[in-house]
Each structure stands twice: as structure tokens, then as C-alpha cells.
Amino acid sequence: MPQDSPLPNTLGDVVARCQSLMGDPQGKWVTRGYLMPLIQQAYEDLESCIKNASGKNLEAVIEVLEIPPGTSSLFPYQQWVAVPTNNRGPLFGLSDPLKLWAKTAGQQPQFYTLATGPRDTLPHVNPPGLTPGTYECQVTWAWIGNQLSITPVAGPVDVQVYGRFNAPPLVSDSDRLVLYPKMTAVLSYASCSLVGVERSNPAVLQGYMERATAMTDNIVADIIRQSQANPRRVAIMCDAGGYRWGWGTGSGWF
């Protein structure tokens, strides 16, 4: 009977690949529970390496809608569980905001106005009101202690944030590896090299580490090449708490 294979470039694909590389395709000793911490560790290492070389592939433009009047801190939208939806916040993973726009909530995108910032601190101002018939909204923003803040407005607003984001953690077997379109091989090699460390097996450690290093170099070179003198490609990314645009296809990060 034919069996379903894991979706390509997902956590499940990496688990199956690691089990095969370690000579245990049935997962009798190389279980998912055994591999998960090692895969997470390898994924974080690879993310740091790729981000330090070029963060272009982790850029996105995120829209946060209907921010309540008087709101200054946008940190609740950066959290894993965001109020009031109790879902992953639309700004979850934000690591380096670059630009921000704001407009009166519910108005057309052409009314987005570029915000002033980043500032070291927010100015001490009373929340301005929203002038009837004027849908543009001028705010100032700051990035302090990895938390995004704006000057409050006496009315609901929509904001659009352009910045760099950390890759979301891998939890479900269907979670996509967002660092690169073909990430399974390098993450599998890197994870298996950590198995070699844990099992005190120098041959496994060295062999798979060399393959992981070579493939990481190739990925970094490809990302840099793609971003040289290329215009932005706009694409809807997902629908978890906001509209998202950035590099790539229509697959969602979250």
C-alpha cells in the first residue's frame, strides 16, 4: 500500500529525513521526541547564520488593524498569545522594525502616512484627535527593549510595519521552514550532526556537519544573489491576525 510522505520543506519532512540518515527509518530509537530539541537547536543556529549574512529573506510588511484609541505599546501584538484573539500576534517574531505607516482605521490603503521614527523615546504629547474627513494619521514610533511603541491617537488606527522577523518556532509536522524554500536537507544534516555530538560519534558529527556547512554557504550565497538589484515582489503571506506582504509565495508563516 502506498503511504503518504511528509509535506516538503516542513518539520515532518526533516524528522523523516533524519531518521533515514541515522539508519532508523521506522523511528525505533530516533523518535520524534528525541529529535525535536536537536532540530530546534539546529534551526536556531541556521537562522542566526542566515540572518547575519543577509536578513532579506525574513523581511515582511505586516498590517495590524483596528488598534484601540489611546494605544501606545504595540507589544501585545508581538506576543505568542495576543489579546483579544488569543492567537499568535500579527507582529510575533518582529526583531528589527524598519518603517511604519498609520491611517484612520478602516480607510483605504492610500491614506497610510509614513510615521516619524525610529526615535530613542516617544515625545510627550497628548493624543491627537482624528479630524473628520481627514483619514491620514501622523504618529511617531520607537523600538525600545525589543518592544514597538507609537504615540497614542484619540481614535482607532491601522498601522503597517515593515521590518525583519524571526522565523516562528517549529511545532507541528506541517510547519513550513520559512528560512529558505529548500531547507530540509541542510536542517537534516545539521540536526544529525547534533545527534553525533549527543551519541559521542565523531564520524556522524564530522560527516554531517561538513554537509550542513557547505549547504548553508550555498543558501546564503543564493539569498544574497537574489536580493542584488532586484525589485520587491509583493505577495500575500498569510492571514493570522493581519494582512502580510513580503518576499515569496502565498504560503503563510504562521
Number of domains in the chain: 2
pTM over 0.95: no
Q: Considering the domain boundaries, does residue 253 fall inside one?
A: no
d(CA 29, CA 218) in angstroms, rounded, equals: 32
* Residues 146, 203 within the same domain: no
* Residues 173, 197 within the same domain: yes
Structure confidence by residue, pLDDT tens digits, 173-230: 999 999 999 999 999 999 999 999 999 999 999 999 999 999 999 998 888 887 776 5
14: its cell numbers: 526533516
Domain enclosing residue 156, as ranges: 59-167
d(CA 121, CA 140) in angstroms, rounded, equals: 9
Higher pLDDT: 190 or 169? It is 190
* Residues 160, 195 within the same domain: no
* Residues 68, 158 within the same domain: yes
Contact assessment for residue 113 and residue 102, using Cβ atoms and an 8 Å cutoff: yes
Cell 554531517 maps to which residue?
Answer: 208
